[in-house]
């Protein structure tokens, strides 16, 4: 059976106390995350943009992000959470996004409360938020647009990213949960976890909480679980690791003039055949 079946993100969340999610930008990286044991894959707008050497600034179209997410999902037995930025525009864009992503088999999307076009959370540039009421409307539209009860909408606040405080982040997330968000995502660019811990302490389990510990890397998963987080997204470490490995390998080949010293350090062609499921494909055309 070459076509994959996979649980919804909602059922994965119900099954696990904490869902560990790895960022990916193509099917191969998603498959490696699954192989490592992650329970879900984040189709990252940062990684998908970077894979085209473009800034994560609402430059690619919804269709391009959808294609990336759907291609990852098709290769996995675990669900994809699609990073859908601001929902790609206004309320009708949000409805269209939900129709298209759900129709392509994606079971969870994440939408953030920045103005469209948005800029990546860690980049210098405009991090202005959409007003709370307008974003709650987007959440309601997303929930109205879904066709299955399984579909899961994560509302992400960029309050802390835009310089607001934890009070404001809580007020926004409360409104988002009331509007029907299935979970909230609290993002911080501080080098410590303090703001996120304060948020969790004061949140009172109104809805599941998702975090993205990129700038506070020293928070162990056991402690993240104890703090009451429902899903943790390692959004871009995979691509950063791949970048280091690719850069180092190309430089070595160029400098050495042959690949002898590199060979023991890189995956075999056989390894790639296995990830391509070459044997299963060959069986399809067996005499």
- Active-site residue 56, yes or no? yes
Record the tokens describing residue 179, joined without a space: 């509007």
Distances (CA, A) of 241 to 24, 29, 85, 248: 12, 11, 23, 11
Peptide bond into 117 cis (omega under 30): yes
- Give the x/- contact pattern for ligand SPV in 196-235, rule: CB under 6 A: ----------------x-x--------------------x
- Alpha carbon of residue 71 to chain centroid: 14
Q: Does 154 bind ligand SPV (CB under 6 A)?
A: no
Rounded to a whole number of angstroms, the minimum distance from the CB of residue 150 to ligand SPV is 23
Instruction: Compare residues 79 and 283 and give the one whose CB is closer to ligand SPV.
Output: 79
Span 103-122, contacts to ligand SPV by CB under 6 A: 120-122
Q: Does 113 bind Mg ion (CB under 5 A)?
A: no
DSSP of 105-138: T--EEEEE-BPSSP--TTSSS--PBPPHHHHHHH
Q: Which of 56, 83, 85, 113 is catalytic?
A: 56
Q: Which residues contact 141 (CB under 8 A, 6 or more apart)?
A: 91, 94, 95
Whether residue 107 contacts residue 8, with contact meaning beta carbons closer than 8 Å, is answered with yes
Rounded to a whole number of angstroms, the minimum distance from the CB of residue 112 to ligand SPV is 7
Distances (CA, A) of 51 to 59, 60, 68, 175, 244: 13, 11, 10, 35, 14
Instruction: Compare residues 8 and 121 and give the one whose CB is closer to Mg ion.
Output: 121
Rounded to a whole number of angstroms, the minimum distance from the CB of residue 47 to ligand SPV is 6
Rounded to a whole number of angstroms, the minimum distance from the CB of residue 48 to ligand SPV is 8
Q: Does 236 bind ligand SPV (CB under 6 A)?
A: yes
Residues that bind ligand SPV (CB under 6 A): 23, 44-46, 56, 83, 120-122, 212, 214, 235-236
Q: Give the residue numbers annotated as catalytic, written as ranges.
A: 56
């Amino acid at each position: 059976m070459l076509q994959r079946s996979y649980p919804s993100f909602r059922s994965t969340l119900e099954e696990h106390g904490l869902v560990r999610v790895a960022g990916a930008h193509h099917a191969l990286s998603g498959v490696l995350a699954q192989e490592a044991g992650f329970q879900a894959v984040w189709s990252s707008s940062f990684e998908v943009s970077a894979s085209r050497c473009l800034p994560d600034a609402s430059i690619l179209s919804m269709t391009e992000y959808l294609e990336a997410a759907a291609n990852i999902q098709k290769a996995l037995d675990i669900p994809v959470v699609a990073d859908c930025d601001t929902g790609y525009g206004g309320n009708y864009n949000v409805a269209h996004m939900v129709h298209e992503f759900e129709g392509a088999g994606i079971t969870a999307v994440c939408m953030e409360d920045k103005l469209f076009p948005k800029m990546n959370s860690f980049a210098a540039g405009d991090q202005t938020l959409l007003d709370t009421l307008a974003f709650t409307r987007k959440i309601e539209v997303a929930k109205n647009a879904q066709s299955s009860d399984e579909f899961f909408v994560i509302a992400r606040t960029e309050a802390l990213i835009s310089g607001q405080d934890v009070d404001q982040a809580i007020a926004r997330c409360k409104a988002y949960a009331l509007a029907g968000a299935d979970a909230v995502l609290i993002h911080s660019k501080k080098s410590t976890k303090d703001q996120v811990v304060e948020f969790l302490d004061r949140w009172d389990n109104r809805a599941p909480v998702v975090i993205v510990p990129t700038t506070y890397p020293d928070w162990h998963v056991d402690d993240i679980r104890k703090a009451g987080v429902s899903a943790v997204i390692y959004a871009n470490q995979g691509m950063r690791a791949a970048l280091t490995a690719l850069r180092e390998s190309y430089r070595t080949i160029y400098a050495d003039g042959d690949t002898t010293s590199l060979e023991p350090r890189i995956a075999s062609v056989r390894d790639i055949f296995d990830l391509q499921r070459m044997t299963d494909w060959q069986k399809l055309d067996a005499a």
